[in-house]
């Protein structure tokens, strides 16, 4: 069942075009909906991430996070805007 879902993700095909090697598409789809409703996929990702960190000799829980942002100048259209002295950009 999980192999069929992975196949769909890799190939990008529709449910109805699932190869005959797998269970009927209706069965795979209904199981996918159930697992998604139960929040199984984020749990799987979390479990895999923790195990990978342990295999790499690191602590299972991440101790830092990365936040990325960007300020982009755009064309002058619209009304008045402020000035952010910290970023040295208008807007």
Say if 82 falls within a structural domain. no
Say if 36 falls within a structural domain. yes
Say if 1 falls within a structural domain. yes
What pLDDT, on the 0 to 100 scale, is given for residue 69? 81
Say if 25 falls within a structural domain. yes
Residues 25/15, Cβ–Cβ less than 8 Å? yes
b/e string for 35-50 if b means 16 or more Cβ within 10 A? beeeeeeeeeeeeeee
Residues 46/62, Cβ–Cβ less than 8 Å? no
In terms of Cα–Cα distance, which of 59, 61, 91 is closest to 77?
Answer: 91
Question: What does each of the 91 residues of the chain score in pLDDT, given as a tens digit?
Answer: 989 999 999 999 999 999 999 999 999 999 999 999 999 999 999 999 999 999 999 999 888 888 888 877 776 666 666 666 766 666 5
Residues 82/91, Cβ–Cβ less than 8 Å? yes
51 Cα distance to chain centroid: 19
pTM: 0.59
Where does the chain have alpha helices with state H?
A: 2-11, 25-37, 40-55
Task: Please give the tally of structural domains in the chain.
Answer: 1
Say if 85 falls within a structural domain. no
Torsional sign, CA 51, 55, 56, 61: positive
């Amino acid at each position: 069942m999980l192999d069929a879902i992975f196949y769909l993700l890799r190939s990008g095909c529709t449910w109805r075009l699932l190869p005959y090697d797998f269970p009927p598409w209706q069965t795979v789809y209904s199981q996918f909906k159930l697992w998604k409703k139960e929040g199984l996929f984020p749990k799987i990702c979390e479990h895999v991430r923790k195990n990978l960190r342990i295999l790499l000799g690191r602590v299972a829980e991440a101790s830092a996070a990365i936040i990325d942002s960007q300020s982009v100048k755009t064309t002058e259209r619209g009304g008045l805007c402020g000035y952010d002295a910290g970023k040295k950009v208008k807007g």
